[in-house]
Amino acid sequence: VRIEKAGHRHFMAKEIAEQPVVLADAISRYSTAEGALNLPEGLDFTGIDRVMLVACGTASYACHVAKYWFEQVAGLAAEIDIASEFRYRDPVLSERAMTIFVSQSGETADTLAALRYAKGKVAKVVSVVNVPTSSIARESDLSLPIHAGVEVGVASTKAFTCQLGVLALMALKAGADRGRLEAAALAAHLEDLRRLPGLLNVSLALSEPVTALADELARARDIIFLGRGAMYPLALEGALKLKEISYIHAEGYASGELKHGPIALIDDQVPVIVMAPRDALFEKTVSNMQEVMARSGKVLLLSDAQGIEEASPGVWQSLALPEVPPVWAPILYAVPAQLLAYHTAVAKGTDVDQPRNLAKSVTVE
């Protein structure tokens, strides 16, 4: 099949725009409108005492978000590993552990090698992939396709949100299997998740205000992304996207860790992008943000309208997102992270779909 840009300037722009549709598809394949899960038989967390999530690049940040979900929603211990580290650190595997390998392509050499290392040593080897015929899918005990459709842009976008959608449902299944989630609570979570794809359209409308900021961001030498809780991996992903395609040095940090190092970088030239949905940690994030502003940092605040109203005095710019249950906010905030990277790269004139030195699928170790 020939994949076209469908009127978009880049594949990446097309793939960002497709997210409401593909995420809705991914979620509806694994759940019902009546509020029940519909995951493959065999995905059973009974008797599992630990999940180990392993991946590379953007997929590893999806795992990092999922760690928070498995712990918070299911009370299940979760570890994350970068695939190239996993099998070299003598990980302690057990018959009660489930390993989950996440990969868009399903061909990443490090992830495949990690999977082969775990096979037979844990209760079950599960994969979450976009290409159902891939090596990683074929070699796992159980594979869940994310149904994002072909992704062409080297920087992963729609695969990331679909990975998050599928991992969210898996965490809910773990919660149900472990007796942590009653039917009513599960149905409420599913209703929230099924509403998310529609809200991504609101996130996509930020494309215009982000374009207006892009020229200024494109002039920055360093950009820092901050987040707390499950928004911390989103800060890492925002920074990765930006450096991949705009070649601007960017770092993602846990907001509370800022004072232990990166605050030394802050001056009036450094944009600091703060991802702060109004969750239990909002006040703390805001106080970290104020530490940045006290050192003349240029803060770009991402929150919902009320969060912006409460916290925006003194910020450089803000972008308002819809209000969502905080647990699923990372899915929504993925979109502005992608838009910031995309429009900054366009403003710099880089090759957005084929950034230098990078490959879509890395099949060497």
Catalytic residues: 360
Q: State whether residue 64 is helix, strand or coil.
A: helix
Please tell me whether residue 111 binds ligand G6P under the rule CB under 6 A. Answer: yes
Q: State which residue, 152 or 185, has the beta carbon closest to ligand G6P.
A: 152
Segment interacting with ligand G6P (CB under 6 A) among 55-63, 215-223, 248-256, 315-323? 55-63
Of the residues 52, 59, 74, 97, which one makes contact with ligand G6P according to CB under 6 A: 59
The beta strands (E) that lie in 269-359 are given as 271-275, 298-304, 317-321
For position 103 contacting ligand G6P by CB under 6 A, the verdict is yes
The least CB distance from residue 360 to ligand G6P, in Å, is: 6
Instruction: State the minimum distance, in angstroms, from the CB of residue 184 to ligand G6P.
Output: 35
Contact (Cβ atoms closer than 8 angstroms) between residue 344 and residue 241: no
> Of 92, 166, 114, 157, nearest to 340 (Cα)?
157
Stretch that binds ligand G6P, among 43-51, 154-162, 213-221, 309-317 (CB under 6 A): 154-162
> Which residue, 297 or 355, is less far from ligand G6P as judged by CB?
355
Strand order in the sheet with 50-55: 77-82, 50-55, 97-103, 124-129, 142-145
Q: Applying CB under 6 A, does 154 fall inside the site for ligand G6P?
A: yes
Contact status: 109 vs ligand G6P (CB under 6 A) = no
Q: How many CA atoms does the CB half-sphere of 10 hold within 13 Å?
A: 20
- Judge contact between 40 and 144, C-beta under 8 A: yes
- With CB under 6 A as the contact rule, the residue among 127, 156, 285, 344 that binds ligand G6P is 156
Per CB under 6 A, which region of 118-126, 209-217, 314-322, 354-362 contacts ligand G6P? 354-362
Tell me the sheet residues that pair with 321. 304
Q: Is residue 58 involved in binding ligand G6P (CB under 6 A)?
A: yes
Q: 99 and 75 in contact (C-beta within 8 Å)?
A: no
Q: How far apart are CA 175 and CA 290, in angstroms?
A: 37
Query: With binding defined as CB under 6 A, does residue 84 bind ligand G6P?
Result: no
Which is nearer to ligand G6P, 244 or 279 (by Cβ)?
244
Q: How many CB atoms lie within 10 A of CB 358?
A: 12
Residues forming the site for ligand G6P (CB under 6 A): 56-59, 103-105, 108, 111, 154-156, 358, 360-362
